[in-house]
Every structure is written in structure tokens, then in C-alpha cells.
A and B are shown apart, each in its own frame.
Chain A
């Protein structure tokens, strides 16, 4: 493994420390330059990691329960925990983590502090209140003495009904994220007034395009919850149409995976090249990729409904075609990320066709975690292409294959990237040097091995027909036939993998806790926040790429084309018919 840095000028900029007139050096880390923004990032990451801790514990209990290795809850409570796991991981850990990352990225790249502390307090407060309401109603389901529950899983399909406060909580979490987006846009506008002709800095460009996509896509779930589910759960309207509400959910349900993924891409494009010892290959290509995601992410949601009755096959084919085009920006990302890493490795003295891989800093936790998450994502992308094909989807829809797939994408590409970048970022937003460095260096590998075990076995269990979302995947009437391996061996791998993942999560949380509580404030950091300029910069790219209004308009037109007719078909017989009365769980 390489030692020393041949390209010190790139990785060790003067920017973190400045000489003052009397000759002393002052640290200029993110927390020193933007104390307000650093505080917001700390709060967001803190809440995100608490949610992650809860989610990881529930995940472990599920993995051991459904493989029959260890059972500490009755099977009927399994779904309460599963709801908790899905909501805490997929909605809270992600949304708060992303809000923190984006606050950092937008502030760093624009070089100005967040505009209004009232707006900041409003979005943080709204998101936190929403989280507390949703999490509270879920946990209440474990106690018979509390007359509230929300055992509806994180997809909350009607007519299963949760306590109204669960839906209110979900709505507040989303409204809070809208306000956070408004804050990023205001920050950008302030920057723009001082730089009328400059290109949008790359990280800010990525943040803004992602948030535009988020506004367009959350509209579906917001209408579902506010117009239908809240009034229905309160008894203000009698019935809702299960297919319509479900369709509104999946209108949001696919782009949300890009809302998770794009922040990881922000890190892969802008931070990973630096951590590899080099610089990003191409700024314009990165912009093209984000624009493609903005316009293509939403008109694909029907690929989650291939097996739904009541939706014409033609609409499903259109969604499938769009989905395959959505592969393009991810394939382009693969190219750029690998090329940038190779460039970094060669800067560090790496040679050979694949020999350069050895020159990368695999012993550094931030680099190792991000690079491993990229490798897992390549595998997840492959299994995703299979999900997206309509005929194979019929084989694996709602089987364990599906959680096998998304634990590679959101569960690793996003989650491990966030953990790994925290090893680099948390020191910069706290001013404290990373503690338990050895534990941190090992942690990405523990997660990686755990995920290889759990995910491969879940994929194969899905091929054998074992369903997801069930406490007892064995039935009196028949038994499952494994296609590859044996069902008993898959169970063992899921149980061991889940345990390793839990250990990996605990290691990460221990490092964060130690850094936050034991790290000395104002210590000399081992990292710095300088990000080198890309090899080909934005100035060579067409100005139109930065026209956010244009791309938002294109995205809206495509959404209208993909969803206009199908939604019209569904509501033609009445907004609430065929309707269902609530079924409390």
C-alpha cells in the first residue's frame, strides 16, 4: 500500500490553515469558516445517526427472527419492528443525513453561510416533529396499553390504517424537507446576486437539481397523504381508492431512491477523487448526469406496479422503457468514478492495467468505505436491471430478492457512503479529530462482508420464491425449492450477515460517539476540506446545462406524459371509487 503523497499540493491545500501577520497558523476548517452551517450539519447528522441506531437494532432482530435463529418477539410484533426499520432507515436516516450533507455541500461550494436562521429553525423543527410523531405511533404499537399503532410498513398501503398522527408525521417530514430545499435555493440566490455570470459551482448544482427532482416527486405522496389518507384516517371521508393511493405512493417511490442515491453521487463525484489522490475527470459530464436524473427519475414509477391489476400493460411498457434509459446516467457515473480513481491512483504512483488499484488508500476509512459502497452499488445496479425487466419481475416481485437488491443500493451505496464520508466530514464540522481510528478503518470491511452474505442469500431466497415482509417464511402447505444452494444455508448466511451488519453499524456509531464526546475541540484535524478542480472544468460546457428552470419544465412535461392518462383512467370513475373503508391494524 502506498505511503506518502506524491501529489501533496492536491490533497494538502493550504486552505485549512492560514498564516496571520504575527506568524501563527489558524485552522480554517468548515466549522471555523461557517459555524452556523456546521451546527446545522451536526444536528442533522446527529438525528440521522440516532435513527440509524434504532433501525440497525430492528434489522438485527428481523434477520434473526425470520431465519428462526433467535426469537425475542412474537411474530405478530414483527411487522411493528419492520415498519420501524423501514421508516427509520429509509425515511429518517436518509432524509436527515441528506439534509446535512446538502447543507455542507451547498455552503462549501457557494462559499456563503445559510441565509435565514428562522427558516433553518423552521425546517429542522418541522422535520424533527414529523419524525417524532411517526416514530412514536409506530413504537406505541408494541404496547397494548397505548391505544395507537401504525403497523402499516413504510409503504402504508390503504386500506390498512395507521393512527392519524403517523400520516401527519410523514407529511411533516416531507414538508420540512421542502423548507430545507427552499433554504438551499435562497442561499444560491444570494450567491447569484453577487456572481451574476458565473457557472453554478458543481456541488451546489447537484444539490439544486436533486432538490428539484424531490419537489416534483414528493408531490405524489403529499397528495396521497394530505388529500386522502389523513382525512380518511380521521373519518372525514369514508373511503379511498387503494389503487389510486398506491399509484400516488409509487409516483414518489421510485424517484425517492434517486433522492437517496444522488447525495452518494455528490460524494463519489466530488470527494472520492480527492480521497483517491486525484481529481474529478469531467465537470460537464457530472452536470449531464444530474440533469438526466432530474428529468427521467419520476416517469418510471409504474415499474413498481408491473404486477398490479387495473393498470393497462401499455403504461407499464412505457415505464419500463424509461427505466432502461435511466441506466444511462448510472453507467456514465460508473465510468467517471472509476476513471477518477484510476487517475488518483496513478498520481500516487500506481501502475499497470489493474495494478493501480493497489496504490489506493484502502487503509483510510473514508476512502475504503466510499469505494466499497461503489463496488456494492455496481452489483446492486445489476440486480436492479433484472428487477426492471417486466417478465423477470414477475418471478421475483415481492420476494426476498427485492430487499436483497435495495440493501445494496440504499442500504449500502447510500448508507455506507454516508458513514464513510462522516469519517472525513464530522471532524470538519465539529473541529474534533476522529477517535477510534482503528475501529473506523475496519468498519467498512465488516459492513461489506456482512452485506455480501445477507444480500446474496436474499437474492437467491427470492429466486426460490420466499416472500419478503413475513415473520415466518415457511408454511404448512408446502416447502420452498432452492434454485442455487439450500434454504437452510441461505438462512444461516442471512443471520450471520445481519449480525455482521449490526456489528458494523455499532462500530460506526461508537466512532461517532467517541469523536463527538471525547474529541478535543479545536484539535488539529487529520483531514482537510479542500476539493481539487476537475480536469475539464465547467467553462468548456454549454451554458444551457445550468438552466435549472428549463430542466424542471422538461421534467414536468415528461411526468405529465407518463402519468396523465393512467391517473385519468383511475379517477374517471370517481376519486374515491372503487373505495375501501379503513381496516385498522
Chain B
């Protein structure tokens, strides 16, 4: 089969481009470090979440912000349900600047999203699954939390806030409102 010289050149250039893309992605993942979501959050029975029986789950705690047991960083437990985040909607989630924040987010009913608008902190919230990811906020400030997955007729009202505060102002407030 006759392959034109330009075709060969183009084919080669395309392959180079593809490999280059993958290179930038791997660099992006290892270098700046993106808060990726994997399967390490584990699973949970969503009726346990819906009924607030958190003592029956070994990998999820009552919604709130906790100091990590090892003294480094904080742990944030968030429950999404039609149409609010707990914590987040009724009162902002407060986290300290410059420390590693580990989020654990799950749903009490349908699939939701948890997205700090305009940032790459972005996860699906799927019933039965716990989304777990780490974020370190480098500056103090306020972020909007948006539910970005359609979750019912009130979906457009589902939002909240996250405040990044100086470490001196930060108090771990275990146990949000239940």
C-alpha cells in the first residue's frame, strides 16, 4: 500500500503530540499535585447516612471538621442531601490555611456534586461511596460550594461556603449540626 510522504510525517507528528500530552498530564499529577479522587474513601450504606447512625460506620464520622488524630491537619466530613451540604450550607465549612485538609464526602440520598467554584476541588458524591481527597489551601479566603450534578427539582438551590482562615483563628468544631 502506498503511503504518501506527508501522511507519514503527519502520522509521526500526531504520535509525538499524543505522547507529549500524556507527559504534561503525568507531570501535572506528580508536580503541582491535584486533589484526585480514587477508591480509598471506601463504601458506606447510604441508609446509615440518611438516618444519621454514624456510630455504625467505621469509615465515616458525624458531619463536621475534626483535628486529625495524628495532630497533623484536619478531617472534614460532609453529607450531601437534597438540597444542602452539612456542613457548608447552614454554616460555612471552616478550615485552616496551609494545613492538609482531608475531605470525606458522601450522600444521604441521590448523586450530587461537591465543587469549590473555579478551583480543581471537584468530586462526584455518589450514594454508597465516600469521596476522599486531600487539599492544602495556600491562602485564606472564601469559596462557594456548588452541587454541580442534577439532584432533583431544587438542585439549583444547593450551595454552600468554605472559609479558609488563619491557623490562629481555627477551631476544630467536631460534630456539625445533625
Contact = CB atoms under 8 A, between A and B. Distances in A.
A157 B111 contact: yes
A525 interface: no
B153 A76 contact: yes
Interface in B1-59: 1-4, 6-7, 10-11, 14-15, 17-18, 21-22, 24-25, 28-29, 32, 34-39, 41, 43-46
A472 to B, nearest CB: 4
A327 B124 contact: no
The range of chain B's interface size is: 35 or more
Contact of B118 (A153, A477, A480): A480
Contact of B130 (A246, A309, A313): A309
B62 interface: no
A320 to B, nearest CB: 7
A197 interface: no
B128 to A, nearest CB: 3
Contacts of A82: 150
A76 B117 contact: no
B100 interface: no
Contacts, number: 222
Contacts of A523: none
Interface in A345-387: 385
A338 B1 CA distance: 21
Contacts of B24: 389
B28 A321 contact: no
A573 B156 CA distance: 34
A578 B142 CA distance: 34
A327 B126 contact: no
A209 B37 CA distance: 35
Interface string A309-337: 11111001000110011011001100100
B132 interface: yes
A79 B155 contact: yes
B153 A578 contact: no
Contacts of A282: 4, 7
A69 to B, nearest CB: 16
A541 interface: yes
A524 interface: no
Nearest to A400: B148
Contact of B14 (A312, A328, A464): A328
B18 to A, nearest CB: 5
Nearest to A385: B21
Contacts of B36: 306, 313, 316, 390-391, 394
Contact of B148 (A327, A399, A569): A399
A397 B127 CA distance: 19
A324 B22 contact: yes
B11 A332 contact: yes
A469 B39 contact: no
Contact of A585 (B2, B29, B117, B152): B152
Contacts of B32: 391
A478 B6 CA distance: 53
Contact of B39 (A306, A312, A470): A312
A578 B118 contact: no
Contacts of B145: 477
Given A309-B129, A573-B43, A471 B156 contact: yes
Nearest to B152: A585
Counting chain B CB atoms within 10 Å of each CB, which of A281, A310, A311, A470 scores highest?
Answer: A310
Counting chain A CB atoms within 10 Å of each CB, which of B7, B14, B44, B156 scores highest?
Answer: B156
B115 interface: yes
A284 B121 CA distance: 45
Interface in A133-163: 151, 153, 157, 159-160
Contact of A577 (B128, B130, B144): B128
Counting chain A CB atoms within 10 Å of each CB, which of B1, B18, B34 scores highest?
Answer: B1
A79 B156 CA distance: 10
Interface string B135-162: 0000000111111111111111101110
Contacts of B122: 307, 394-395, 397-398
A468 interface: yes
A159 B21 contact: no
A395 B119 contact: yes
A522 interface: no
Nearest to A334: B10
Contacts of B147: 467
Contact of A391 (B29, B41, B121, B157): B29
A312 B11 CA distance: 33
A316 B26 CA distance: 12
Given A309-B129, A335-B7, A469-B149, A76 B154 contact: yes
Contacts of B10: 331-332, 335
B41 to A, nearest CB: 5
A480 B143 CA distance: 10
B120 interface: yes
Interface in A541-585: 541-542, 569, 573, 577-580, 583, 585
Given A308-B37, A339-B6, 18 more contacts: A76-B154, A79-B150, A153-B150, A157-B111, A307-B124, A308-B126, A309-B37, A309-B130, A327-B17, A328-B11, A335-B10, A391-B36, A397-B122, A398-B115, A399-B148, A465-B117, A468-B148, A585-B153
